[in-house]
Amino acid sequence: MAVPITAPEILRRAHASARDPEALVRLAEALGPGPFALVILFLSPDAVLAGLAERAGAAFGDNPVVGCTTAGEISPDGYSEGGIVALGLPASHFAAETMLVPDLQAIDGHALIGDTIRTRQRLARACPDWENEFAFLMVDGLSVREDELAASLASGLGPVPLFGGSAGDGTRFAATYVLHDGKLAQNIASLSVIRTRCPIRVFSLDHLSPSEERMVVTEADPARRLVRQINAEPAAQEYARLLGKDPGQLTTFTFAAHPLVVRIGGRHHVRAIQRVAPNGDLVFFSAIDEGMVLTLAEAQNMANHLEGELSRLAGDGEPAAILACDCVLRRIEAEEKQMFGQISDILRRHHVTGFSTYGEQLGSVHVNQTMTGVAIYPPKDG
C-alpha cells in the first residue's frame, strides 16, 4: 500500500514497499492527479530494477521522472529502508528542465557548461515570472567523478544554487543507479533545474567540530580516492594509532564517529573514509590528494544539532517541505548511538523527504557526512 502524507499540498509525497510489484502504480495513485513538473523517485536497492524505467513511464504517464538508488530512504515517517519514496512537484507551483549526463567517465567540462547554460535559459523563458530557482543533482555514487561533475555544473549554473546526492546501494557498495526519464543506468547523472513560485533556501548542515589533531596525506592515488600513507606511515595503521585503536578494529562506525575534515574556502568539509582496503589503504568517499592536511573532527549530539538547525530554517515561517540528501554515515551513526528513532521523528516533524547518500554536492564541491538540501516555503501570494 502506498501512503500519502497530509502536509501542505505544495509538494506531494508517498511511499510504498520496494518489493510490491505494483509499487509504482500505487505511488502514482497516492500522489494524485497531475500535471507534475517533475516526479522524483528514491529507490531502495531491494527494488526490482530490471524494467523499472519502463514501469515508471507507464505509471506516471507524461510526467517527467528522475530518481536514484539509495543507502536508505527518508520517507514521510523519517528514516526507512526497503521502500520507494515518490516526490511530486505540481506544475501549479514548479517548472523543471532535466538534463542527462550520459557518461561520467568522459566528462567534457566545456560542453557540460554550455548544456547547463542552455537548460537554464529554456526554463527562464518558460517561466519568466517565477524567480526562485535551484538545481538538484543525482549521480552514480560509485563513479568517483562527483567532484569534476559538480565543478562543471556549478560553472554553468552561475548564481543558481546547486545541491545533490550520490546514489547508494545500502552498505554493499556494489552498484548504484540513476534514473533519468526512461533510462536507469550506472555511470550517469541527472540534473534537474527547477523554478518555483515558492520561496526556497538551499542549506547544508553537519554536527562536526574540527579538533587540534592534524595529519598529512603523504602518498595517495587521487583517481581512485585511495590514501596509502598518512604522516609517512601506512594509512589505516596511522589513522588507528591517532584514535588509540588497533587497525583491525576499524569499522564503518569508526569512520562515522571519527571523521576527517579539510579546510576549503574558509570552511571545513568532511573527507569521509568509506572502508579499509585489504592492503591497509584507506578508501575515501570524495577527493583526496597528496599533501592534503586532514584534521580529526569531533561530533556533537546529532539529534540536538539537527533539531536546532531545522528549527532555524523555520525561523521566518515553517517550510512546507524539505528535500534532503543525507550522508549514509549519519544514518550509521544514528543507529550506533541509538538515536535512530529520535532522528526519524525529527525528520518526520519537519517534513523532510529524501535519501541517504554516498556523498553530497553543494555548489562546486562534493562533500560527505552532511545533510544538504532545499527548504521550500508556502508562496507569499497563497
- Report residue 159: phi and psi, to 5°: -80, -5
The reply to whether 101 and 47 lie within a common domain is yes
| pLDDT, the chain, mean | 93
- Provide the pLDDT for residue 382: 60
Q: How would residue 151 be classed by pLDDT, with cut points 50, 70 and 90?
A: very high
Q: How would residue 6 be classed by pLDDT, with cut points 50, 70 and 90?
A: very low
Q: Is residue 337 part of a domain?
A: yes
Q: Is residue 279 part of a domain?
A: yes
The reply to whether 34 and 71 lie within a common domain is yes
Q: Is residue 77 part of a domain?
A: yes
- Report residue 247: phi and psi, to 5°: -55, -30
Q: How would residue 200 be classed by pLDDT, with cut points 50, 70 and 90?
A: very high
pLDDT in tens, 92-135: 999 999 999 999 999 999 999 999 999 999 999 999 999 899 99
The reply to whether 199 and 220 lie within a common domain is no
- Provide the pLDDT for residue 286: 87
Question: Given 275, 299, 323, which residue is the final one in a domain?
Answer: 299
Q: Is residue 168 part of a domain?
A: yes
Q: Is residue 27 part of a domain?
A: yes
pLDDT in tens, 171-185: 999 999 999 989 999
The reply to whether 129 and 38 lie within a common domain is yes
The reply to whether 311 and 274 lie within a common domain is no
The total domain count for the chain is: 2
Angle 285-286-288 from CA coordinates, rounded to 5°: 120
The reply to whether 57 and 94 lie within a common domain is yes
The reply to whether 198 and 347 lie within a common domain is yes
**Is residue 279 predicted with pLDDT exceeding 60?**
yes
pLDDT in tens, 56-104: 999 999 999 999 999 999 999 999 999 999 999 999 999 999 999 999 9
Helical H segments across the chain, by residue range: 23-31, 52-60, 109-126, 146-157, 235-243, 252-257, 302-313, 328-336, 340-349
Q: Is residue 382 part of a domain?
A: no
The reply to whether 125 and 170 lie within a common domain is yes
- Percentage of the chain with pLDDT > 90? 84
**Is residue 166 predicted with pLDDT exceeding 90?**
yes
**Is residue 9 predicted with pLDDT exceeding 80?**
no
Q: How would residue 7 be classed by pLDDT, with cut points 50, 70 and 90?
A: very low
The reply to whether 171 and 242 lie within a common domain is no
Give this prediction's pTM. 0.92
The reply to whether 198 and 56 lie within a common domain is yes
Q: How would residue 264 be classed by pLDDT, with cut points 50, 70 and 90?
A: confident
- Provide the pLDDT for residue 266: 73
Residue 278, helix vs strand vs coil: coil
The reply to whether 196 and 248 lie within a common domain is no
Ramachandran assignment for 124, one of left (phi > 0), alpha (psi -120 to 50 degrees), beta (any other): alpha
Contact (CB, 8 A) for 42 and 356? no
- Provide the pLDDT for residue 5: 37
pLDDT in tens, 211-245: 999 999 999 999 999 999 999 999 999 999 999 99
Which residues lie across from 194 on neighbouring strands?
96, 134
Q: Is residue 381 part of a domain?
A: no
Domain that holds residue 282: 208-299
**Is residue 2 predicted with pLDDT exceeding 90?**
no
The reply to whether 257 and 162 lie within a common domain is no
- Provide the pLDDT for residue 227: 95
Question: Given 299, 334, 355, which residue is the final one in a domain?
Answer: 299
Q: Is residue 240 part of a domain?
A: yes
Distinct helix (H) and strand (E) counts, the chain: 9, 27
Determine the average pLDDT of the residues in 299-306: 95
Question: Given 299, 330, 352, which residue is the final one in a domain?
Answer: 299
Determine the average pLDDT of the residues in 25-42: 96
